[in-house]
Structure formats: structure tokens, C-alpha cells
Chains A and B, each alone.
Chain A
Amino acid sequence: MTNALVTGTAIAVATGLVGYFMVLRSQVFTGDALSHVSVTGALAALALGVDARLGLFAATIAVGVGIGVLGLRGRADDVVIGSVFAWVLGLGVLFLSLYTTSRSAGNGAGGVSVLFGSILAVSGARARVAVAIAAVIAACVLLIARPLLFASVDEAVAEARGVQVRALGVAFLALVGAVAAEATQIVGALLLLGLLAAPAGAALRLTARPYRALWVSVALAVASVWGGLGLNSLAPRLPPSFAIIAVASAFYALTFLALPRRRGSKASM
């Protein structure tokens, strides 16, 4: 439980930071794609017989950089993302079949923990590695936070002022890839999008001031993980991954109750 709490907190800080910029830059679909790519990465590692984490990080970071390089100005069109990630999932099904035929046992359990995570199964050594990687990701985000914010809010002006917009975009997508691989370990590939998008989406609705929103996003992500683990210990039948995402989604939903929905222009319709 201590391991779960420590790892979960560290990863939540990283997802809160990365998630904020991801939502600000409207790249949530990229996050969705990278979360599915992590399934392929893990399955490839299983098929090849290496540590699943190696496959996770290699696949998500490679695809993140690839999407960034292919897209205009380090951002990709959603059709490009959709096509690339449908194909990567196609590779995933190939690795799944290679894996299940090479290991004679019909091993579904490994796949399920990749899809839905297993925060309570994080052991001492794995926890230390995960915390270290989360710290590196968080440090990288904070290091590029200022220029990245500039580039995200006003790309043209940032470029005119000499900010390396394209390189920043690619570097940021590599960070999204790394955080996706990290979060897969606690909430799983299918659910990590909630941990990336919900706290950040809520933070952006709550305040328009960038740095405050960044910290609100981190706080909400950490609160989601703690709340989820708390719910799980109160009601053990609730899987922790579900509880974490439910708390995060609740925060997001609450911002709609607390604040009236912002509308662009009411006149046009």
C-alpha cells in the first residue's frame, strides 16, 4: 500500500504536469493514441521475452516523436494520428498472436494488467524506478514550461521571438509518450487518458492563469490517486484503477456544476 501510494503520487504529479500542456495544446487525441500504443509496446516486449516496461517506453516515445515529426510544426492532424495508431494497434494484435502461440498457455492475465493497470502490485524495486522516472519527466516539463507555454498559447509570436516551436513540440510529445508508459503501470493503458485529461481539463476550466492552472492540475491528479486508493481501501471490491478514474472524472464533472458552461457566441444560432 505504501508503495502504491508513493508510486501513485509521483506518477500523478508527472501526469498532472504533462496533462495540462496536452489539454492546452489540444493534443488529447495524441494522448489517446499513445495510450493505445503502450498496449502494442507491452505485447511486443512480452512476445520478445524482454521486460514489459522496456517495450512500453520504447513504443510510446518512438510513436510520440514520430507523430511530432510527421505533423506540421510538431503537431499532427487527427487523421494522421488515427491512421498511425490504428496501424500500431494492428501490430499489437500481431504481437498478441505471436505471444499467445509462442507461450503455449493461454495467458490472458498479463494482457489485462497492461490494459487496466495494477497499482497495488507495484513492488519495492519497481516503485523506485517508477518514482525516479516520474521525477525526471516532471523536471523536464518544468524545464521547458515557459517556452512551451509561450509556443502553446501563441505559436506565431513565439516563433518570431526565436522559440524553437517545432523542436519543443516534438520534445513535448516524447514526454507525453514517457508519461503514458509510466501511467500504464498504475491505471492501465485504457484508463490513463482519464488521469491525463480530467485533472487538466478541470484545472483549465477553473482558472485562466497558466501557472495556477498547472498546479491545480497537479493537485487534482494527486487527489484523484489518493481518493481512488482511499475508496479502494474502504470498498475493496472497487478496483483501484476504476476508483482513481472515477474520482478524476468527478472533479471534471464538478467544474460544470460549479461554473456555467462557457459559450463562444450566443448570437449565431
Chain B
Amino acid sequence: MLAVAGAHFTWNLADDFRQLFEFPFMVNAFRAGTIVAVVAGAIGWFMVLRRQAFAGHTLALVGFPGAAGAIWLGVSATWGFFGFCVGAALLIAWLRPERGEGYSEESSGIGVVQAFALACGFLFVSLYRGFLNGINALLFGSFLGVTNGQVLVLLIVGGAALTALAAVGRPLLFTSIDPDVAAARGVRVRALSVLFLVLLGLTVAEVSQITGTLLVFALLVMPPATAQLLTARPGVSVAITVVIGLLVTWLGLAVAYFTPYPIGFFVTSFAFAGYVGAAALRRGGRRRVIA
């Protein structure tokens, strides 16, 4: 990606590190990547546990039409953006059937929400006649070109999301694993499920504005999926998730720096390799137990 900068990989690792942090944009990329990896890992862990990857992906996309609509109307992008995210999260939560009823109603509802939101985004962009390139940035994005201000925004959003998650962590874990028993014990299952979707929506959409949907979604799904394959203990699993997220992000950034190819490709490939490795390990382990 940055072969322009005259970066050469050498086997002198100290020199490589010096090269990596030579430019301020690279320092910001590492800062942004670190924040995103930690926050996405923690929220994604619950998302994977609750089997809501589809909702997560949809929410990662709805920030774009919101922001595009606001720009077209000439109001601050933040308004459109929060409006669409919270609106979509509430809509998905409302569509989510209570247990027993089939899953199909929820999933077709999410699909319609996603397609309609993106269609609105396309409408706003074509009415506004501009920034079509923003669409590629939204989909694929990268950590490059992140400004100091955006790092601050990411830090605040991430901190708020982690605080909120820590506050509801225990009951949320309970309802995610066994909603029936949780409800019987007086946990407010429905309220928690709405709250979690809104939290997921706000965080994911804000982050995807800065880094693109691809990186957020990859870090949201793959590290938790890998960690949950490796261990069944919640605390350890969250820790593994964050470690995997940080490793693939840092490694992806570093490798992309020394090659002409984009970060998104490396981060997703490393994370996917980890996931496949964990799945193979687990399958092998299970076979040995049976034998």
C-alpha cells in the first residue's frame, strides 16, 4: 500500500519498527486499529454468542445512508447518522420475534431494513450528485488517513461502549446463554436485547464511518468466533478475542506497510486463517476424544 514511502522490509526488526512509526498517519492508523480491535472484539463477542452477525452487518452499513441524507439536506452528518442507526436498531429489535416463533421473520426483516437503508443512501448520493467515491470507502475503508480528531472520537465512542457493556455484561451474558432461565430469574430479557442492539448499532456505525464496514465487520465476527471455538469459559474467551483482534490488526497494518496491497485484505486474511486454524484444531481434538 505504501511502497511510495520508500519503506523496505529488512531483517533488522528494530529498523522496521522505526520505519513503521516514521509517519504520523501510520501512528494514527495503529492507534485507530488498536481501539477498533478492542471495542469490536468485546461487542462482537456478545454478538457472536447471540448469533446476531446479520444484524451486526446491517447496522454497520446503515450509518452511510444516514450521513448521506444529512449531507444532502444540509444538516450535520452526525444527526442523520445517529437517527438512522438508532432507528434501524430499534426496528430490528422490534422485528425480532419472541422465542418459539420462527427465525425467518426476523431475518427477512433485517434484510429489508438493510436493502432499504442502502437504497436510501444511493438515492441521497445521486440527488446530491457527488462523493460517489465515498461508497468504496464505506465498504472497504482502511485505517489510513485517520486524523487526530477521529482517533479522539473513536476513543470516546469506544470508551462509552465498553463502559455500557461492562455495566450490563453479567445479565446480558445470562440472557444470551439461557433466555428462559434468565427471564424466570427476573432479568429483563427483552429490554436487554433492545439495549444491546442499540449499543451495537451506535458503536459499529460510528466506527465504520471512520474505518469502513469491512474492517469493523471482520473484527466483529472473526476474533470472537475463533475464541469461542477455542474455549467455553467466558472471561478467557473475551481475553483471547481481544488478543486475536489486536494481533491481526497490528500484523495487517505492518504487512500492508511493506507491500503494495491494502490493509483490509491482510487483516481479513490473517483473521480468517486464525478461524480456520481454530476450527481444524477443534475438529481434530474432538476426533481424538471420540477415538
Contacts and interface: CB of A to CB of B under 8 A. Distances in A.
B265 A94 contact: yes
Interface stretch (A6-14, A56-64, A131-139, A186-194): A186-194
Contacts of A42: none
Interface of B: 1, 48, 51, 53-54, 56-58, 97-105, 107-112, 114-116, 118-120, 122-123, 126-127, 132-133, 135-136, 139-140, 183, 189-190, 214, 217-218, 221-222, 225, 260-262, 264-269, 271-272, 275
Interface stretch (A47-55, A168-176, A258-266): A258-266
Contact of B260 (A101, A191, A198): A101
A38 to B, nearest CB: 13
A162 interface: no
Interface string A205-245: 10000000000000000000000000000000111011001
B272 A83 contact: yes
Interface in A246-266: 246, 248-249, 252, 262-265
A127 B124 CA distance: 28
Contacts of A83: 221-222, 225, 271-272, 275
B98 A263 contact: yes
Q: Which 8 A-B pairs have the closest CB atoms?
A: A194-B115, A90-B268, A201-B108, A197-B111, A264-B100, A87-B272, A245-B119, A264-B101
Q: Is the interface of B mostly helix, strand, loop or mixed?
A: helix
Interface residues of A, number: 62
A157 interface: no
B107 A28 contact: yes
Given A32-B111, A194-B119, A197-B111, 6 more contacts: A26-B103, A82-B217, A83-B271, A91-B265, A93-B140, A265-B98
24 contacts: A23-B104, A79-B221, A89-B139, A90-B218, A90-B269, A91-B268, A94-B264, A108-B132, A116-B122, A190-B115, A190-B118, A191-B119, A192-B115, A193-B115, A194-B119, A195-B115, A197-B107, A197-B108, A198-B112, A201-B111, A237-B127, A238-B123, A262-B101, A264-B97
